[in-house]
């Protein structure tokens, strides 16, 4: 028995050296938020944007005591135990960031009606203690489409998609509409990898599109970094991004003309405020330019070369139209049919 | 149309290298009678270590090619050590190879991810190795793009195929490997050290799997993430069966799989009305279909594949 214990300790100790907590703050009698994600908080994509949003929201709500914890690399099959652990530890709001957690959250929410849960992207109205959120990312796609349609020299643009659902489907179709709005003759190459996190496949798809003449590419989800990396290999091709974190990478600084990003801080603040007013869920919170759910910025290193004042004005006009009429401007995004491109 | 075909074929060689190296390594394992489902984990560790060295040397910026070479060497060495470890578990302790392989896969992927987060942090890229246009040959229309404009490791990997064939079929060591995978008792009675030969094959297989992982992180994606391998280790194992444990046929399988991958990408990009979900599945369906039609031809399968050898037990 003693030998087994010693052996177990020897096997476990090396990993303890690398252990790091996922807790941002800690104090008693506070509002407690937990985040469950399938990738990591620094994936320069989907998961990082929510993590950054929560930390920003906490900073902006400095008058409140908020404790925040996160669990990374949680497959839906594993996430149930950690969600229940958070419930047991008295967390007030548990956010499972991804539509893949839907069934899990609905099941646990029924077990624990006094705890609020949130998952997205989803436009469904959940039970009384479940919030959903849906980035209307056809708006960010449209903006990037305008830029791609204007800056392409070979009149071919590429789109590296993960799967054709959720906010990725909205972004991709918005991108197509944006390109077609300013450059109807442009050829748009659309391909999906079938995964959100296969960086190699995303890079292969991008390489294929570059080889077929695309000179401006875009992509969504965390795997887009792989496509951006492949784009960086081309001396002439450029990129428009779906996450501002891409601008912080070396290849993003060299190739990414502009990027939009989800500003989850607005969602998190909205949920916290609703909970304080007694609303525990049962609402879908849309994210769009009108409610501050998106941010957009140009790459300062590339703006002068690639973004003309006319293009900038065109982009700003589109954003203004989204702000003025968030429900109507791109209401036909779902009608985009890739087979007609 | 010719441009599209040229583009599709020109991607086949560089994109098939990781699968090719890993499956040739797995072929040596299986020819010696051991199947290693942990190939995915070894590839993950190879990818991590391979990327780590040039990343640490240059902080993500440009580095001397020697650091990339060092990354490949470290990945091969680490892969060999993983092969040695797998040998201890399956050859010396005679653990069930399937279960041990799954354990090695989980251990490798998990450890690579943990170490990556500790030493690097978030998703990072490196300059990697560039493509080389072979003088004169790369100028040949069509063939220049398809065959002679790739990175150095891709050329070396394909040059290794006849070398692997020679090692396996024309050297005394290759004969030993095939003997211990076919009839270890007879090999033992002829004075061949079965365990040692299996250890050597596992180390060679591990080294090649490590190189395959490093190829993905240094030469192809030029980055590392926890999900970089994404099942390619298992595809490599399938390709060994697909290629009937023969280097040339395995090469054909790797090329066919990659061709199907690039073909489905082009089908999608051309806007052909075809569900993308089915397009993405195409390469995997192809493997299953070919395996179904060729599984009856088992004459080349190592007879003792998956069977631990114990000279004290008569079977």
Q: Are the Cβ atoms of B271 and A42 closer than 8 angstroms? A: no
A:4-23 residues touching chain B, CB 8 A cutoff: 15, 18, 20
Please give the residue that has the higher pLDDT: either A24 or B108.
B108
Phi, psi of B191 (to 5 degrees): 90, 10
A148 in Cβ contact with A176 (< 8 Å): no
In this complex, the residue of A194, A208, A249 whose CB is nearest that of residue B266 is A208
Q: How many CB atoms lie within 10 A of CB B3?
A: 12
**CA dihedral of A338, B3, B7, B9, whole degrees rounded to 10:** 120
A239 in Cβ contact with A257 (< 8 Å): yes
pLDDT at residue A278 in the model? 92
> Could you tell me which residues come within 8 angstroms of residue B149 by beta carbon, excluding any fewer than 6 positions away?
B10, B131, B132, B133, B134, B138
CA distances from A295 to A10, A326, B120, B140 (A): 48, 15, 28, 48
Place of tokens 């926890």: B226
Average pLDDT over residues A264-274: 91
The pairing of strands A31-36 and A66-71 is parallel
pLDDT at residue A236 in the model? 94
CA-only gyration radius of chain A, Å: 21
- Residues A245 and B13: their CA atoms lie apart, in Å, by 32
Beta bridge partners of A239: A217, A256
- Residues B14 and B254: their CA atoms lie apart, in Å, by 11
- For residue B225, give both structure tokens: 């993430």
H/E segment holding residue B70: helix B65-87
H/E segment holding residue A262: strand A256-262
pLDDT at residue A18 in the model? 46
Residue in chain B nearest A187 by alpha carbon: B270
> Could you tell me which residues come within 8 angstroms of residue B5 by beta carbon, excluding any fewer than 6 positions away?
none
Q: What is the pTM of this model?
A: 0.85
Q: Which chain A residues are within 8 Å of B281, Cβ to Cβ? A: 194
Q: How many CB atoms lie within 10 A of CB B111?
A: 18
pLDDT at residue B314 in the model? 65
In this complex, the residue of A188, A199, A209 whose CB is nearest that of residue B225 is A199
Domain residue limits, chain B: 2-294
SS3 label, residue A62: coil
**CA A292 to chain CA centroid, nearest Å:** 15
Q: Which chain A residues are within 8 Å of B113, Cβ to Cβ? A: 73
Task: Give which of B239, B262, B209, B237 is closest to B18, Cα–Cα.
Answer: B209
Q: Are the Cβ atoms of A205 and B10 closer than 8 angstroms? A: no
What string of pLDDT tens digits covers the 315 residues of chain B?
A: 788 888 889 999 999 999 999 999 999 999 999 999 999 999 999 999 999 999 999 877 778 889 999 999 999 999 999 999 999 999 999 999 999 999 999 999 999 998 998 888 777 889 999 999 999 998 998 899 899 999 999 999 999 999 999 999 999 999 999 999 999 999 999 999 999 999 999 999 999 999 999 999 999 999 998 889 989 999 999 999 989 999 999 999 999 999 999 998 888 887 777 788 888 888 888 888 877 776 665 667 899 998 888 877 765
SS3 label, residue A31: strand
- For residue A276, give both structure tokens: 């304080």
A182 in Cβ contact with A314 (< 8 Å): yes
Phi, psi of B101 (to 5 degrees): -65, -45
- Residues B29 and B34: their CA atoms lie apart, in Å, by 5
CA distances from A294 to A23, A34, A132, A196, B170 (A): 26, 22, 17, 21, 64
Is the Cβ of B275 closer than 8 Å to some Cβ of chain A? no
Please give the residue that has the higher pLDDT: either A167 or A92.
A92
CA distances from A237 to A85, A118, A193, A314, B125 (A): 47, 39, 20, 22, 18
Q: Are the Cβ atoms of A192 and B276 closer than 8 angstroms? A: yes
Query: Helices B276-294 and B247-269, interaxial angle, to 10°?
Result: 160
- Count of residues making up chain A: 341
- Residues A161 and A157: their CA atoms lie apart, in Å, by 13
Q: Which of B3, B16, B123 to mutate to test the interface with A (most CBs of A within 10 A)?
A: B123
pLDDT at residue A17 in the model? 47
A159 in Cβ contact with A172 (< 8 Å): yes
Q: How many CB pairs under 8 A join A and B?
A: 119
Q: Judge whether residue A26 has pLDDT over 70.
A: no
In this complex, the residue of A189, A204, A251 whose CB is nearest that of residue B125 is A251
Q: Are the Cβ atoms of B122 and A205 closer than 8 angstroms? A: no
Half-sphere exposure of A15 (CA within 13 A, CB side): 11
- Residues A262 and A106: their CA atoms lie apart, in Å, by 24
- Residues B125 and A252: their CA atoms lie apart, in Å, by 11
SS3 label, residue A175: helix
A330 in Cβ contact with A289 (< 8 Å): no
pLDDT at residue B313 in the model? 75
The percent of residues above 90 in pLDDT, for chain A, comes to 65
Beta bridge partners of A259: A241, A297
Q: Does domain B2-294 have CATH number 1.25.40?
A: no
Beta bridge partners of B125: B223
Q: Judge whether residue A12 has pLDDT over 80.
A: no
Please give the residue that has the higher pLDDT: either B150 or A124.
B150
Q: Looking at domain A16-136+264-287, which CATH architecture does it have?
A: 3-Layer(aba) Sandwich (3.40)
Q: Which chain B residues are within 8 Å of A207, Cβ to Cβ? A: 11
Domain with CATH 3.40.50.2300 in chain A: 16-136+264-287, 138-261+295-340
Q: Which chain A residues are within 8 Å of B122, Cβ to Cβ? A: 40, 42-44, 48
Task: Give which of B158, B123, B178, B137 is closest to B21, Cα–Cα.
Answer: B158
Task: State the burial class of residue A173 (Cβ atoms within 10 Å of its Cβ: 0-12, 13-18, 19+).
Answer: buried
The percent of residues above 70 in pLDDT, for chain A, comes to 92
Name the pLDDT band for A249 (thresholds 50, 70, 90): confident
Q: Are the Cβ atoms of B232 and A200 closer than 8 angstroms? A: yes
State which fold the A138-261+295-340 domain adopts. Rossmann fold (3.40.50)
Please give the residue that has the higher pLDDT: either B279 or A86.
A86
Strand ranges across the sheet with A66-71: A66-71, A31-36, A93-97, A116-120, A130-135, A283-287
- Residues A97 and A120: their CA atoms lie apart, in Å, by 6
Residue in chain A nearest B217 by alpha carbon: A200
In this complex, the residue of B61, B220, B269 whose CB is nearest that of residue A190 is B269
B109 in Cβ contact with B41 (< 8 Å): yes
H/E segment holding residue B267: helix B247-269
Q: Are the Cβ atoms of B265 and A18 closer than 8 angstroms? A: no
Task: Give which of B165, B168, B171, B128 is closest to B150, Cα–Cα.
Answer: B128
Is the Cβ of A190 closer than 8 Å to some Cβ of chain B? yes
Beta bridge partners of B151: B131
Which runs of E-coded beta strand occur in B196-257?
223-224
Q: How many CB atoms lie within 10 A of CB B169?
A: 12
Is the Cβ of A313 closer than 8 Å to some Cβ of chain B? no
Is the Cβ of A218 closer than 8 Å to some Cβ of chain B? no
- Residues B101 and B35: their CA atoms lie apart, in Å, by 8
Q: Are the Cβ atoms of A200 and B221 closer than 8 angstroms? A: yes
Task: State the burial class of residue B120 (Cβ atoms within 10 Å of its Cβ: 0-12, 13-18, 19+).
Answer: middle
Q: Which chain A residues are within 8 Å of B223, Cβ to Cβ? A: 199, 225-226, 229
Q: Are the Cβ atoms of A199 and B61 closer than 8 angstroms? A: no
Residue in chain A nearest B281 by alpha carbon: A194
């Amino acid at each position: 028995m003693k030998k087994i214990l010693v052996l177990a300790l020897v096997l476990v100790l090396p990993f303890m050296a690398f252990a790091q907590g996922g807790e941002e703050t800690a104090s008693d009698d506070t509002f407690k938020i937990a985040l469950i994600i399938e990738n990591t908080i620094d994936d320069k994509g989907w998961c990082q944007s929510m993590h950054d949003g929560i930390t920003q929201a906490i900073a902006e709500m400095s008058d409140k005591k908020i404790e925040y914890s996160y669990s990374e690399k949680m497959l839906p099959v594993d996430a149930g135990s950690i969600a229940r652990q958070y419930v047991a530890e008295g967390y007030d709001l548990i956010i499972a960031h991804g539509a893949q957690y839907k069934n899990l959250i609905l099941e646990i929410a029924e077990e624990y009606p006094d705890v609020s849960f949130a998952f997205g992207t989803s436009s469904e109205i959940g039970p009384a203690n479940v919030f959903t959120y849906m980035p209307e990312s056809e708006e960010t796609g449209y903006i990037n489409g305008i830029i791609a349609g204007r800056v392409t020299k070979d009149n071919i643009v590429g789109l590296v998609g993960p799967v054709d659902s959720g906010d990725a489907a909205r972004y991709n179709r918005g991108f197509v509409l944006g390109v077609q709005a300013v450059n109807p003759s442009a050829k748009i190459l659309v391909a999906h990898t079938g995964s959100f996190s296969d960086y190699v496949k995303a890079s292969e798809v991008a390489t294929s599109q570059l080889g077929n003449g695309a000179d401006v590419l875009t992509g969504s989800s965390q795997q887009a970094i792989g496509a951006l990396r492949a784009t960086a290999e081309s001396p002439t091709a450029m990129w428009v991004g779906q996450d501002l974190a891409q601008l912080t990478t070396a290849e993003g600084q060299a190739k990414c003309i502009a990027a939009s990003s989800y500003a989850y801080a607005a969602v998190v603040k909205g949920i916290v405020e609703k909970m304080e007013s007694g609303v525990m869920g049962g609402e879908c919170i849309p994210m769009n330019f009108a409610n501050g759910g998106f941010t957009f910025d140009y790459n300062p290193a590339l703006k002068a070369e690639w973004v003309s004042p006319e293009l900038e004005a065109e982009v700003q006009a589109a954003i203004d139209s989204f702000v003025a009429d968030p429900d109507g401007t791109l209401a036909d995004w779902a009608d985009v049919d890739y087979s007609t491109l | 149309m010719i441009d599209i075909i040229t583009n599709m074929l020109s991607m086949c060689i560089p994109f098939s290298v990781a699968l090719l190296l890993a499956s040739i390594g797995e072929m040596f394992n299986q020819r010696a009678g051991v199947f290693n489902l942990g190939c995915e984990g070894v590839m993950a560790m190879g990818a991590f270590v391979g990327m780590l060295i040039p990343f640490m040397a240059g902080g993500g910026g440009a580095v001397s090619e020697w650091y990339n070479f060092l990354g490949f060497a470290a990945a091969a060495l680490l892969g060999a050590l993983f092969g040695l470890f797998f040998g201890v578990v399956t050859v010396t302790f005679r653990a069930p190879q399937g279960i041990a392989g799954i354990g090695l896969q989980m251990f490798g992927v998990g450890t690579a991810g943990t170490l990556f987060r500790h030493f690097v942090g978030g998703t990072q890229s490196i300059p990697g190795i560039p493509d080389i246009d072979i003088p004169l040959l790369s100028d040949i229309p069509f063939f220049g793009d398809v065959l002679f404009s790739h990175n150095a490791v891709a050329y070396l990997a394909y040059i290794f195929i006849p070398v692997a064939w020679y090692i396996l079929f024309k050297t005394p060591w290759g004969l030993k490997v095939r003997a211990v995978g076919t009839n270890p008792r007879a090999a033992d009675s002829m004075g061949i050290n079965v365990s040692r030969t299996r250890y050597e094959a596992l180390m060679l297989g591990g080294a090649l799997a490590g190189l395959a992982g490093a190829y993905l992180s240094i030469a192809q994606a030029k980055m590392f993430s926890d999900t970089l391998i994404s099942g390619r280790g298992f595809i490599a194992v399938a390709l060994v069966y697909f290629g009937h444990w023969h280097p040339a046929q395995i090469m054909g399988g790797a090329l066919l799989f990659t061709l199907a991958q690039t073909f489905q990408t082009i089908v999608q990009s051309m806007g052909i009305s075809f569900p993308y979900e089915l397009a993405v599945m195409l390469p995997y369906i192809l493997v299953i279909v070919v395996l179904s039609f060729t599984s009856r031809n088992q004459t080349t399968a190592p007879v003792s594949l998956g069977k631990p050898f114990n000279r004290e037990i008569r079977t």
